[in-house]
Amino acid sequence: MRLIATGLAFPEGPIAEADGSVLLVEIQAQRLTRVHADGRLQRVAQLAGGPNGAAVGPGGQIYVCNNGGFGWVRENGGLRPHGPSADYAGGWIEVVDPATGKSDRLYDACDGLPLKGPNDLVFDGQGGFWFTDLGKRRAHEMDLGSLYWAKADGSCIRRVATPLLTPNGVGLSPDGKYVYVAETDTGRVWSFEVAGPGELRRNAYPSPHGGRLVAAPGGYLRLDSLAVTASGRVCVAALEHCAIMEVDPRHGGIYWHTVPDSKVTNLCFGGPALRTAFVTLSHRGELVALDWHEPGLALHHQPLP
């Protein structure tokens, strides 16, 4: 493991760039930041609310899932989110121009219902993107979450799978036929069969949302965001397990990769041949790099080395 940067304010949503830098969000500091290969930090945009997941979209624009804002607690030398921020008024999807830092809100509601806590997103190469809305947790209640699909140009948004309990990471299989969702509080990974842009094939799976359960290790396990490898394995940040959980959705195998942080939140693949996993260690506020045993999946719109 190689330490690339420290002093980040709860980093998430890493994006590997062709020049060796990594774009990521700092949720607590409300900004989009570029981490250069030498560890130097450059602010790209100052954002409101709680910028969470991020991905490169058409034209090199950065699409950001904004959870609307967290409250924060400092403990054991680090940060953790705690409930909504005092000024929370809903979540949204925004588009950031990395050249100017200008941000435009794309979606903040679906069918008249406001988004609660957009979390992570992945582009499908067909003009749209899938994203999760975690919901929002309050002191004695919480909103259920959903999987959404939306067009990148802002013209259409659909709620495609609901209810989900704290859906977080989202990714697509290499052939684009399956969309994977990791739930935080249940510690489960689900698979949904894609029928077309923004459409799922409704199968007779015994789940309230039509998904197939592909991983549920059991015990106290909370999952965060994910990335998919070139062979189709799903790699999920496993928070308090201080690990990345690697799932083989075809054969059911689960493999563990240890990282030294109690809030490992996300990863992306980059570097030569996409063999480097860039991992956000959010409690410590660090970005690290790991040599991975196989290439990551090249994402739509991702600038390759």
224 is in an annotated binding site: yes
168 is in an annotated binding site: yes
**Tally of CB atoms within 10 A around 51:** 30
Q: Which of the residues 120, 124, 133, 224 is marked catalytic? A: 224
Name the DSSP letter for residue 299.
P
**Tally of CB atoms within 10 A around 163:** 12
CA torsion, ordered 139, 265, 72, 52, to nearest 10 deg: -90
76 is in an annotated binding site: no
**DSSP element (H, E) containing 189:** strand 188-196
Sign of the Cα torsion 5, 280, 152, 107 reads negative
Cα–Cα distances (Å) from 88 to 35, 81, 146, 158, 272, in that order, read 28, 13, 19, 23, 41
Question: What is the spatial order of strands in the sheet that 51-56 belongs to?
Answer: 51-56, 62-66, 92-96, 103-107
User: 133 an active-site residue?
Assistant: no
Listed in sequence order, the residues at least 6 apart from 129 whose beta carbon sits closer than 8 Å to its beta carbon are: 55, 57, 63, 121, 122, 123, 149, 150, 152
Listed in sequence order, the residues at least 6 apart from 126 whose beta carbon sits closer than 8 Å to its beta carbon are: 197
Residue type at 207 in one-letter notation: S
Radius of gyration of the chain (CA): 17
- The total number of residues shown for the chain amounts to 305
The rounded distance, in Å, linking the Cα atoms of 28 and 33 is 12
Binding-site annotation, residues: 119, 168, 224
Binding-site annotation, residues for a divalent metal cation: 168, 224
The residues that are catalytic are 224
Binding-site annotation, residues for substrate: 119
